[in-house]
Chains A and B, each alone.
Chain A
Amino acid sequence: MSNSSITYLEAIRLAQQKALAEDPRVFIYGQDIGGFGGAFKATKNLAKEFPGRVLDAPISEDAMVGLAIGAAVEGMRPIVEMQFADFSTCGFNQIVNQAATLHYRTGTPCPIVVRLPSGGTPGSGPFHSQSMEAIYAHYPGIVVMTPATVEDAYTMLLEAVALDDPVIFCEHKFLYYHLKSERLPGEALPFGKARITRPGRDATVVAYGAMVHEAVAAAEELSQDGYDIEVVDLRTVRPIDTDTILASVARTGRLLVVGESWPWGGVAAEVISRVATEGFGLLDAPPQRLNAKETPVPYHPALWGTHRPTASSVANSLRQLLEL
């Protein structure tokens, strides 16, 4: 494996390569993923390397997921690539009604991974920018992963393949090329465990996916003013690591949750609900959340940059929180 710069995208490709190489039960199914290597090149060269196991699918998200479910029932470990997270709504029924219910209803596990190239990039507009994690996390029976680092993208995708439950793997498109690492990790944090990305004592920012990096940048900015901000990376939004969140809030007394998706009924709302319910006595100030504005994701970069939380809007929210 190359020791030069590895991007987040390359980590995803390498994880799939490793899964295909080590587990004959793994196959990948999705639009344009074969010879073409995928819309984002997440499967580049894999079809050639693993003939017959990296297959182009018709533009049929429902049937793609249905096929994966049927194969998983027969003992396979399918990975489905949605071209964009947004299009997973066309496969929604199979994910939430078939995959999510299968084990509860019948006792037969449904180990599928659905990869969702998620989140916004400038100019992507309403239908190529969405973050779907909250919607899938709502359904019992679905694991939802939101890796924020190159290392996590790699190790968590391998975990997702190994897991006996359906996994929605929200890989962030903005991080595909922006995020680089020198090497791939040998070890991973335990599955379902959040990471303290940056320790601090004045306030906690809980984030996931691309928002972790905005939160870290905001924390750096506030350190100029003498504030010490802790950043917690959820890594998986379901299961959600309530213990780590509460432990962090116990240290800082203040909580800001940042999510790239909409606030209504979202992951931030869930985190705040848990802290308010289980850790009210830890709070020095009302917990805050910062999410995307409540409109479809706008096309123009100027609008998009304001629509979603950024380092500077996170820093502003933190300043307000520290004054409460």
Chain B
Amino acid sequence: MTKSSTAAPDAKGAKGGKKKATPAATKGKGTLGIPGAPVSKELARRAYRTMLEARLLEEKLAALYRSGKIVGGVFLGRGQEALSVALGVHLRRGDVYAPLIRDQAGRLAFGDSILDTLRTYLGSSLGPMRGRDGNIHRGRPSEGYHAMISHLGAMVSTVCGGLMAKRFRGETGAVGATCIGEGGTSTGSFHEGMNMAAVEKLPLVVVVANNQFSYSTPNDRQFACGDLMARAEGYGVTGRRAVGNDLVDCLTVLGEAVAAARAGKGPQLVVADLLRLVGHGEHDDASYIPAALKKSPLGRDCLEIARESLQEHGWLTAKEAADWHAAVEKEVEETASKVLREPAPDPSEEDWNAFSALGRNGEEVR
């Protein structure tokens, strides 16, 4: 087994031999009426920095898991950071966001922290979940950051609810967003949520990360419509496509999608092809992913593509990339060390009460 850590970029500059990422030319940008703001240097730099944070944080999570410090599971988004972050950076305070399992980058972009992430994974009693739920199930719903349940598709309608609330209150300009894998689109819950969002014309952005395998199940055993984009028309929503491992392209497409939703153009379904570069969880060696696919353009690491791209645009120097890498690594290390020493939840201090308005677990009326 090889160590799967992300090598710090060579401060002397990226190797020139690698193929440049090609933004898909056939997406019909600008034809949907609402152009997003062009990708700015500042946005791209923020997105890259967040991707780097997500990547290095997740590598630490994997290491902590393999050294027995994390129980349950660790589910990583390696290879999906570009798509995930591109949604997160386009959201703002007041939006409703329900990330899914491979959205560490999007979470950090939306305002989640390395500290909260580690606290949740390590079960610290100081974290937002207080050991009551773990890993990717974290969130702060009252701040618009929904905490996913494991039942795929369920969060689509929940985000719709948040948007309905804003509509009832006459608040405009907010969008809701959630992510799902291609496998999750097979659920009834996903279908019900999409249909409902379309009926209500909600400002909802749903990003489908088609990473080719639902756990181990290949797409030909998951859906038969060939292209998931075709479903957009069936639901009566706008469909958009992004190159899943190309940060600049993802930023462009998600920027347009979020802007369209914000402008009242109704739900947006964004489909992006990519490859998850890890197992479903860290217990899974992903042996079912063919080597050829891993070597194909789909298998290229979005973090490397992003760094090269930003350097080519002149938005990021090699030295900055190296400095960022070191700084993020240090922050992750320091935070992990701190959280590892934080207290675990104490069963005798736990109130063992699932109710908000009732005491003694529903036996006592408060």
Q: Which residues of B contact A108 (CB under 8 A)?
A: 140-142
Q: Which residues of B contact A192 (CB under 8 A)?
A: 358, 365
Q: Which residues of B contact A103 (CB under 8 A)?
A: 354-356
Does A141 sit at the interface, judged by CB under 8 A? yes
Q: Which residues of B contact A74 (CB under 8 A)?
A: 96, 144, 161-162, 165-166
A67–B362 touching, CB < 8 Å: no
Q: Which residues of B contact A66 (CB under 8 A)?
A: 154-158, 160-161, 189, 192-193
Does A196 sit at the interface, judged by CB under 8 A? no
Given A60-B192, A141-B354, A141-B355, are A105 and B164 neighbors across the interface (CB < 8 Å)? no
Interface centre among A62, A68, A94 (most CB of B within 10 A): A62
Does A308 sit at the interface, judged by CB under 8 A? no
B162–A58 touching, CB < 8 Å: no
A78–B161 touching, CB < 8 Å: yes
A28 to chain B, nearest CB (A): 12
Q: Which residues of A contact B168 (CB under 8 A)?
A: 24-25, 27, 52-53, 71, 76
Q: Per-residue CB proximity of A18-33 to B under 8 Å, as 1/0?
A: 0000001101000000
Binds A, one of B17-25, B127-135, B333-341: B127-135
A277 to chain B, nearest CB (A): 13
Q: Which residues of B contact A140 (CB under 8 A)?
A: 354-355, 361-362
Does A309 sit at the interface, judged by CB under 8 A? no
Binds A, one of B26-34, B43-51, B63-71, B145-153: B145-153
Given A104-B132, A239-B362, A239-B363, are A57 and B196 neighbors across the interface (CB < 8 Å)? yes
Considering the complex, give the chain A residue whose CB is closest to the CB of B361. Answer: A140
Interface centre among B154, B195, B356 (most CB of A within 10 A): B356
B196–A105 touching, CB < 8 Å: no
Q: Per-residue CB proximity of B159-181 to A under 8 Å, as 1/0?
A: 11111111010000000000000
B354–A68 touching, CB < 8 Å: no
Given A102-B141, A103-B354, are A70 and B157 neighbors across the interface (CB < 8 Å)? yes
Which residues, 142 to 185 on A, are CB-close (under 8 Å) to B? 143, 163-165
A62–B192 touching, CB < 8 Å: yes
A97–B154 touching, CB < 8 Å: yes
Q: Which residues of A contact B199 (CB under 8 A)?
A: 58
Number of B residues with CB within 8 Å of any CB on chain A: 48
B162–A70 touching, CB < 8 Å: yes
Does A124 sit at the interface, judged by CB under 8 A? no
Does B139 sit at the interface, judged by CB under 8 A? yes
Which residues, 83 to 139 on B, are CB-close (under 8 Å) to A? 96, 128-129, 132-133, 137, 139
Does B224 sit at the interface, judged by CB under 8 A? no
Q: Which residues of B contact A106 (CB under 8 A)?
A: 128-129, 133, 139-142, 147
Given A63-B196, A97-B154, are A143 and B355 neighbors across the interface (CB < 8 Å)? yes
Does B343 sit at the interface, judged by CB under 8 A? no
A98–B154 touching, CB < 8 Å: yes
Q: Which residues of A contact B132 (CB under 8 A)?
A: 104-105
A135 to chain B, nearest CB (A): 16
Given A58-B192, A192-B365, are A67 and B355 neighbors across the interface (CB < 8 Å)? no
A165–B356 touching, CB < 8 Å: yes
Given A70-B96, A106-B141, A106-B147, are A164 and B357 neighbors across the interface (CB < 8 Å)? yes
Given A58-B199, A62-B154, are A67 and B160 neighbors across the interface (CB < 8 Å)? yes
Task: Give complex CA distance A76, B188 in Å.
Answer: 25
Q: Which residues of A contact B358 (CB under 8 A)?
A: 143, 165, 192, 239
Q: Which residues of B contact A53 (CB under 8 A)?
A: 168
Task: Give complex CA distance A240, B362 in Å.
Answer: 8
Task: Give complex CA distance A1, B29 in Å.
Answer: 59
Does A75 sit at the interface, judged by CB under 8 A? yes
A67–B158 touching, CB < 8 Å: yes
Q: Which residues of A contact B142 (CB under 8 A)?
A: 73, 106-108
Q: Which residues of A contact B129 (CB under 8 A)?
A: 105-106
Task: Give complex CA distance A198, B324 in Å.
Answer: 75
Does A207 sit at the interface, judged by CB under 8 A? no
B357–A62 touching, CB < 8 Å: no
Does A101 sit at the interface, judged by CB under 8 A? yes
Does A93 sit at the interface, judged by CB under 8 A? yes
Q: Which residues of B contact A73 (CB under 8 A)?
A: 141-142, 146, 158, 161-162, 165
Given A70-B165, A164-B356, are A143 and B362 neighbors across the interface (CB < 8 Å)? yes
Given A74-B166, A140-B362, A239-B365, are A60 and B159 neighbors across the interface (CB < 8 Å)? no
Which residues, 43 to 84 on A, are CB-close (under 8 Å) to B? 52-53, 57-58, 60, 62-76, 78
B163 to chain A, nearest CB (A): 8
B158–A98 touching, CB < 8 Å: yes
B355–A69 touching, CB < 8 Å: no
B162–A105 touching, CB < 8 Å: no
Considering the complex, give the chain B residue whose CB is closest to the CB of A163. Answer: B357
B359 to chain A, nearest CB (A): 10
B162 to chain A, nearest CB (A): 4
Q: Which residues of B contact A186 (CB under 8 A)?
A: none
Q: Which residues of A contact B151 (CB under 8 A)?
A: 93, 97-98
Task: Give residues in B with beta carbon < 8 Å to A.
Answer: 96, 128-129, 132-133, 137, 139-142, 144, 146-147, 149-151, 154-166, 168, 188-189, 192-193, 195-196, 199, 353-358, 361-365
Q: List 20 A-B contacts (CB under 8 A).
A: A24-B168, A58-B199, A62-B192, A62-B193, A63-B195, A64-B157, A66-B157, A70-B162, A71-B164, A74-B96, A74-B162, A75-B165, A76-B168, A94-B189, A101-B133, A102-B147, A104-B353, A107-B142, A110-B356, A165-B356
The 4 closest A-B pairs by CB, nearest first: A70-B161, A66-B157, A74-B165, A141-B354
Besides A71-B168, A101-B149, 18 more A-B contacts (Cβ < 8 Å) are A24-B168, A66-B161, A67-B158, A70-B165, A71-B161, A74-B144, A74-B166, A76-B161, A93-B151, A97-B154, A101-B133, A103-B356, A108-B141, A110-B356, A143-B358, A192-B358, A239-B362, A239-B363
